């Protein structure tokens, strides 16, 4: 069990809303993965796995110059912010 204010060690610990916001913004504004890693305090591997889980990239990655994808991510982020968060539909419809 982690102490209050610390992140549990190992896989599967929850991403905070603030970390997700940094991840989305970094992805939208084409920041390098290393900068996103420093800003949200997560490893590059954890960031990649989170992007895959959120369906923002697939296992092969995604091109950084794909405006329709960025528009879709921005719309998803806005919808989640307006609705108060929650998991993406792709994760709850299984």
Q: What is the pLDDT of residues 46-81, one digit of tens each?
A: 888 888 787 777 666 555 545 555 566 666 666 666
pTM: 0.51
The tally of domains found in the chain comes to 1
* 29-44: average pLDDT: 86
> Does residue 21 form part of some domain?
yes
34 confidence band (pLDDT: 50, 70, 90): confident
Which domain range does residue 36 map to? 17-82
**Helices 33-40 and 17-28: crossing angle, nearest 10°?**
160
93 confidence band (pLDDT: 50, 70, 90): very low
**How many Å apart are CA 10 and CA 13, to the nearest integer?**
7
> Does residue 7 form part of some domain?
no
pLDDT for 92: 38
- The burial of 9, by beta-carbon neighbours within 10 Å (0-12 exposed, 13-18 middle, 19 or more buried), is given as exposed
Closest CA to 26 of 1, 57, 59, 60: 57
pLDDT of residue 6 exceeding 80, the answer is no
DSSP state of 61: B
């Amino acid at each position: 069990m982690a102490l209050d204010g610390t992140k549990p060690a190992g896989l599967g610990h929850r991403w905070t809303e603030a970390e997700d916001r940094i991840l989305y913004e970094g992805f939208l504004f084409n920041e390098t993965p290393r900068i996103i890693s420093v800003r949200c305090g997560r490893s590059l591997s954890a960031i990649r796995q989170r992007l895959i889980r959120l369906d923002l990239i697939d296992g092969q990655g995604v091109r950084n110059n794909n405006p329709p994808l960025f528009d879709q991510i921005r719309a998803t982020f806005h919808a989640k912010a307006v609705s108060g968060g929650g998991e993406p539909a792709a994760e709850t419809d299984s």
